[in-house]
Chain A
Amino acid sequence: MAAMEVDPVNNHLQRKQSHYVSLDENFMIQKETYRGQQYSQIYFARLDLMRTLIYSLLPNWKPYLPVCTVLDLEEGKQCIIVGTLYKDMKLKPSILDEYSKERSATPLVKPHNFTHPDDYLILEDESGRVKLRGTVLSPSVYVTGNVVALHGKATGAGDYLVEDILEAGLPPQLELPYKSEEDKYVVFVSGLNVGSNSSNPLQFQLFVDHISGHLGDKKVQSIAAQIVQVVIAGNSVEVPRGLLNGQNLASKDQSRLSEPIKEVDILLTQIAAGIPLDIMPGPNDPANFSLPQQPLHRCLFPGSATYNTFRSCTNPHSFDLDNVRFLGTSGQNIDDLEKYSEANDKLAFLERTLRWRHLAPPAPNTLGCYPFTDRDPFLMESCPHVYFIGNQDRYETRLIKGSEGQVVRLICIPRFSETGTAVVLFLVIVVELEKSRMPCSQFWDPVQLMTT
């Protein structure tokens, strides 16, 4: 890993390099075959895995209380139950509404958020389910699919009065490595939406020129030489869906359909020629619909796929860069949480998914998901150091701390086609006396840089 140096003979700048390890194996669907299973299998896998986890946390929480199953609840006896939450939502769209005989006055345009004050939570395990009451548990915070432990007692009415709740908490985090000071940058961008009306090719070309070092003076170029990784977090193309109306495509329309992806390939070739590039599929990309989305096929990128720096990745995507763990999605999981629960800001949703130790609790209830039988790939085994979400409205970031010293940098990446903004993460690991510094992130607007 060469330090940044200016070759005096040729005046060339060397780009920094770093060690990359992909951790996407968990999200790849390779050996799974569909045998007609239903989603009960993935729910069982999730409950089983998380229940073992929560049982290990119970001795530190309330060891004096007995643990029992839902069916064994006795009235008035304080106990702990562990199970999956189900949120009964009044406004949740149901496929059966289409078949209901009486068409009520529900509007066709669905609201953005389906929460309602009358929503209530139910806890379910293999033996049964019980309705949850009490003010401790706020239905607007939780979604169907969370596995939690509850302390309370069964009431005479057959409900369970909740007094306290235990979530799985942040997973264990590997220590950040000690290293000498070497400034490196990781660039995140998402929502390029090439092919849509809102995307401006000039902006993206400016961005590409900037990070590949074709812009600016020596100082700016030397900063660009410190970029070691580019991650494109979804929605790179917007396929003109108006063409896909069931008719046969004329050859002119066929070429129009593939134009956006060709344009993206040309731009990505410029990036891949100089910097390691990870591209993730998003909700609008030509990849499968249900999570985990599989990598975009190499044949879509004939130009850039020839470079070994080009990596097509799954969504969610996880990788190690110089032993700093990154985890992120293209935004579907957080957008779904936003529809079915409430929080003050987007970062609160990210924090919740970390505290629940699960990337996408609403899968498969409201978020499309593959029906795994023996595992739940969205369970977080280890805590990332950087957790990013693509395709958001604006850039936001926060540093959160866990109960065992975990520190995570949360990043919301805005849509590039609308905001012209990419996010640059400054990876600095400085040796200090006590502990290494955590990654921080900077706001870097390439368009602004050019106007000043």
Chain B
Amino acid sequence: MASRGGDIQGFYRQRKKGITKPANAKAKTSSSKKPSSPNRSAATFGSDVTQPPALISHASLDLQDDYDANEEFLRQFDMNMAYGPCLGMTRMARWERASRRGLNPPKDVECLLRSAKVRPECLWDGRV
């Protein structure tokens, strides 16, 4: 049970319930898509220093940022080179430019941009 430079709590044996160690992932609350693998705990001796607690939600790696299928669809629109570069324009402006030029951008993108609560800026906005 000795932990490797890990948290101090691993130093003391604690048997309280509710402490989630990667090895003892509680499947009943998890909505994870992949089951927790025992290999992780084998390498880390039960410590979760390699995987900070914040990213563990429901005992699985939280690799999904807070974007959903809509955003994914819009990002594909951003990345499509046929409509030109996406940086520096709002998605709506870029869609309008593409439709003005007769490039026939998908109508769904326009509907999404008008109705749903999606980011008006492109994928790279603020990050480049």
Contacts and interface: CB of A to CB of B under 8 A. Distances in A.
Contact of A40 (B82, B85, B93, B102): B85
A40 B97 contact: no
Contacts of A126: 81-82, 84
Contacts, number: 40
A33 to B, nearest CB: 11
A44 B85 CA distance: 7
B87 interface: yes
A320 interface: no
B97 A37 contact: no
Classify the secondary structure of B's interface with A. loop
Contacts of B87: 36-38, 40
A369 to B, nearest CB: 15
B68 to A, nearest CB: 25
Interface in B74-100: 81-82, 84-85, 87-90, 93, 97, 100
Interface in A14-54: 35-38, 40-41, 44-45, 48-49, 52
Nearest to A371: B88
Contacts of B102: 52
Nearest to B100: A374
B101 interface: yes
B84 A48 contact: yes
A419 interface: no
B89 A41 contact: yes
A48 B103 CA distance: 10
Contact of B88 (A48, A127, A373): A373
Nearest to B81: A126
A44 B84 CA distance: 6
Contacts of B82: 126
Contacts of A45: 84, 97
Interface of B: 81-82, 84-85, 87-90, 93, 97, 100-103
Interface of A: 35-38, 40-41, 44-45, 48-49, 52, 126-127, 371, 373-374
Given A35-B90, A373-B93, A374-B93, 9 more contacts: A35-B88, A48-B101, A49-B101, A52-B102, A126-B81, A126-B82, A371-B88, A374-B97, A374-B100
